[in-house]
Amino acid sequence: MSLPPLFLIRLRGLVFILAAAWMIGGPFYRQVLNGASKIPRSWVMFTGFAAGEVCDVEYRLRAEGGESVLDRFAVLGFDDRWEAPTSVRRLPKKKNAIRLGERLCRTIEIAEPDIRLYARCAHRKGWRTVASGGENLCEK
């Protein structure tokens, strides 16, 4: 078995370096330098893979003029978030988050709770805010 010629080794190295530079330089050009050309690709978090399936949800309890983050897992009696069923851990749409918020209203041991929903969901063009705490979920 003979070794490849030095020329081929150098050619492979050059191709690798050019490919790596293209992969790193494209997003750098578009996002850091605000390049206008569409030829180098920009880095996009969601391109349809998780769009419509992932929401970042936070419930806040409003009391005496302030808000505090509400741990939905603790309120529902789960010591660890991984013990909770998937329907509590993963909320793919705003309506699921609203339903769970209404369940929190029934479960929490506070008279007349004021629970607000803050949520953003993945879409093709990035994150979109779908709820910004505008209404009390416990008044429905």
The 10s digit of each residue's pLDDT in 29-55 is: 777 787 777 777 666 665 666 666 788
- The structure's pTM equals 0.64
- What is d(CA 84, CA 70) in angstroms, rounded to the nearest whole number? 16
Q: Taking Cα atoms as reference points, which of 88, 90, 97, 84 lies closest to residue 54?
A: 90
**CA count, 13 A, side-chain hemisphere, 113:** 21
Taking the domains of the chain in order of start, what are their residue ranges?
A: 1-43, 55-139
What's the whole-number mean pLDDT along residues 46-66?
A: 79
